[in-house]
């Protein structure tokens, strides 16, 4: 373990083996850091939620998975409810100035680029990437292997394996991400079919996804996870713009 001069680690914090806490970083007593976590200068981990009604006397926590890297000025707030936790998975990478508000959930291998802002109760699936200065409304969910463009403003849920940008614009599947995960051609084909059936069709996405699952025509776990995503959430879902036929010249 390496703790640099001027770092502040409050009594009660738990640090795994081989953690590195750089100068001027603050790790509060509410934190548990897994093995090999790196906290860079001026990061504040485990601070109180930015919630005017929060009771500062309750015990709530921040849990950071193994080998996660928190760069300069990252802030991660503890949960709002007693015994609750803001949780980051293993092997995440949070770039400078990014913020995870209270009660957030990040899966393994999530990357937040510089100055990403996650409001309270945001959930991000494993291997998702969020571009610089993107902002997420509270209670939004981002599915696994989704990709969010820089400066995006997201107020609804982003399905797994998709790409989103600008103001709630769903622009297609993250095909490069699927390829990098090594999914077989048959699996990718099923995900594409599920995407068209739910995200590019008229109708309620929850009902469309439930019907697709009930049809029994999806064999892969990945396509079924895509469809299962639509059973949850509070914010509604991003939908792709349906293609409009070109006008016929007279």
Q: Is 232 exposed, middle or buried (0-12, 13-18, 19+ CB in 10 A)?
A: exposed
Assigned token pair, 43: 């990061």
Q: Active site residue: 102, 121, 131, 143, which one? A: 102
Which one is catalytic: 30, 97, 103, 125? Answer: 103
d(CA 69, CA 111): 10
For residue 172, indicate whether it is catalytic: no
What radius of gyration, in Å, describes the C-alpha atoms of the chain?
Answer: 20
Nearest in space to 201 (alpha carbons), one of 240, 235, 231: 240
**Active-site annotation holds for 120:** yes
Annotated active-site residue 84? The verdict is no
Nearest Cα neighbor of 119 from 97, 103, 96, 132 is 103
CB of 1 closer than 8 Å to CB of 19? yes
Of 89, 120, 125, 131, catalytic:
120
- Partner residues linked to 86 by β-bridges: 62
Q: Which residues of 31-46 are buried (b: 16+ CB within 10 A; e: fewer)?
A: bbbbebbbbbbbbbbb
Mutual angle of helices 185-199 and 221-228, in 10-degree steps: 20
Return the active site residues.
102-103, 120
């Amino acid at each position: 373990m390496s703790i640099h001069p001027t770092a502040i680690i409050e009594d009660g914090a738990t640090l795994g083996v081989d953690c590195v806490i750089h100068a001027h970083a603050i790790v509060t007593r509410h934190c548990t850091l897994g093995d090999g976590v790196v906290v860079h200068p001026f990061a504040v981990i485990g601070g109180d939620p930015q919630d005017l009604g929060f009771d500062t006397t309750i015990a709530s926590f921040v849990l950071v998975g193994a080998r996660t890297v928190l760069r300069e000025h990252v802030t991660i707030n503890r949960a709002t409810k007693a015994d609750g936790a803001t949780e980051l998975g293993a092997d995440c990478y949070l770039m400078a100035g990014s913020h995870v508000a209270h009660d957030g959930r990040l899966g393994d291998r999530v990357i937040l680029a510089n100055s990403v802002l996650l409001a309270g109760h945001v959930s991000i699936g494993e291997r998702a990437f969020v571009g610089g200065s993107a902002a997420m409304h509270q209670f939004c969910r981002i599915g696994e292997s989704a990709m969010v463009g820089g400066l995006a403003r997201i107020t609804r849920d982003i399905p797994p394996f998709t790409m989103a940008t600008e103001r709630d614009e769903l622009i297609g599947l993250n095909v490069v991400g699927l390829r990098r995960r090594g999914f077989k051609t048959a699996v990718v084909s099923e995900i594409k079919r599920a995407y068209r059936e739910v995200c590019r069709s008229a109708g309620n996405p929850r009902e469309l996804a439930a019907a697709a699952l009930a049809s029994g025509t999806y064999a892969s776990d990945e396509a079924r996870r895509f469809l299962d995503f639509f059973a949850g959430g509070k914010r509604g879902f991003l939908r792709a713009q349906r293609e409009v036929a070109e006008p016929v010249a007279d």
